């Protein structure tokens, strides 16, 4: 049995994997007490932990969307959440070269090349903190980052309610900020030219697939037509980190 824990900016999702099957254990709002309890309960088990933060050599070097103390974790794997999402999709959808983009409280991107996560110096793929303007203060301290225009936190700031409510009311804004997001994804596609792009997360996974696909294609030269898929599974990050634990042990799922 392997446990996968996804500590996101708004929710903590926990799954367990037995054989080839995943089972949902819980999804709870993120707060300091919940994090402390989980670290205590799951440390020293066969566990992978996904974090909405920048990780270099196993150290969390920045977590702007996770303003909590996270330490003393003993886990088999500690990995960035978007990397876990992309790795999970790569294995479960058999895509060896792809981008996995998560939109939740923040925006993350995992880059999979030949079935492996490409990390650069550790933090490669921080799409949410790429610069799209010279206006807007980002949670990371930067200015004009993509997250200032399209992310859970900036949508809440702009519309006064959670994206979740906007989806429930069928009022999610496919507006100029959505367009800025699609343009940033198109830029990422142009940089890597990978054949498959998965979009997920609690916001990304609820975006209409036709809207996002068409808008991204509008920004791309016609020679670029990767498959673009919206993944409607809030647990994909937690599943992905389970699969990373297996891979780290050499038990690779084919
Ligand atoms: Zn930023």
Instruction: Give me the residue spans of the domains in the chain.
Output: 2-84+235-248, 94-230
Three-class SS state of 111: strand
What's the pLDDT band for 7 if we cut at 50, 70, 90?
very high
> Buried b / exposed e across 196-225, counting CB within 10 Å, b at 16+?
bbbbbbbbbbbbeeeebbebbbebbeeeee
CA distance 74 to 128: 28
Compute the distance between CA of residue 249 and CA of residue 126 in angstroms, rounded to an integer.
Answer: 27
pLDDT in tens, 102-126: 999 999 999 999 999 999 999 999 9
How many A from CA of 40 to the centre of ligand 1? 31
Question: Model confidence over 240-254: pLDDT tens digits?
Answer: 999 999 999 875 443
The reply to whether 2-84+235-248 and 94-230 are identical in fold is: yes
- 49-72 average pLDDT score: 89
How far apart are the CA of 67 and the centre of ligand 1, in A?
Answer: 14
Å from CA of 6 to ligand 1 middle:
21
Question: CATH number of the domain at 94-230, out of 3.40.50.2020, 2.40.160.20, 3.10.450.200, 3.30.420.40?
Answer: 3.30.420.40
* CA dihedral sign, ordered 9, 92, 87, 205: negative
Q: Is the pTM of this model over 0.85?
A: yes
pLDDT of 24 higher than 90 = yes
Helix or strand (DSSP H, E) at 104 = none
Q: 55 C-alpha to center of ligand 1: Å?
A: 15
Cβ pair 3, 242 in contact under 8 A: yes
- The DSSP element (H or E) to which 46 belongs, if any, is none
CA of 216 to the centre of ligand 1 (A): 22
CA of 139 to the centre of ligand 1 (A): 6
- Beta-strand relationship, 54-56 and 59-62: antiparallel
Q: State residue 108 phi and psi, 5-degree precision.
A: -130, 165
The yes or no reply on domain 2-84+235-248 and CATH 3.40.50.970 is no
Q: In the prediction, which pLDDT does 251 show?
A: 56
- The whole-angstrom separation of Cα 66 and Cα 88 is 22
């Amino acid at each position: 049995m392997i446990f996968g824990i996804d500590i996101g900016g708004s929710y903590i999702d926990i799954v367990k994997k037995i054989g080839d099957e995943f089972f949902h254990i819980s999804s709870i709002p993120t707060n300091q007490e919940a994090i402390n309890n989980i670290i205590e309960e799951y440390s020293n088990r066969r566990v992978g932990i996904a974090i909405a933060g920048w990780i270099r050599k196993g150290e969390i070097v920045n977590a702007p969307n996770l303003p909590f103390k996270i330490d003393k974790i003993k886990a088999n794997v500690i990995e960035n959440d978007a990397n876990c999402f992309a790795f999970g999709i790569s294995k479960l959808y058999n895509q060896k070269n792809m981008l996995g983009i998560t939109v939740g409280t923040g925006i993350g991107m995992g880059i999979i090349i030949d079935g492996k996560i490409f990390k650069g110096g550790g933090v490669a793929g921080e799409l949410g903190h790429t610069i799209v303007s010279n206006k807007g203060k980002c949670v990371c301290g930067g200015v004009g980052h993509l997250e200032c225009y399209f992310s859970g936190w900036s949508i809440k700031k702009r519309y006064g309610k959670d994206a979740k409510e906007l989806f429930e009311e069928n009022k999610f804004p496919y507006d100029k900020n959505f367009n800025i997001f699609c343009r940033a994804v198109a830029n990422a596609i142009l940089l890597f030219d990978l054949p498959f792009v998965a979009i997920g997360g609690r916001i990304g996974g609820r975006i209409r697939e036709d809207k996002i696909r068409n808008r991204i294609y509008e920004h791309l030269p016609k020679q670029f037509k990767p498959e673009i898929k919206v993944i409607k599974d809030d647990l994909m990050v937690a599943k992905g980190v389970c699969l990373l634990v297996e891979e780290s042990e050499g038990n690779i799922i084919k």
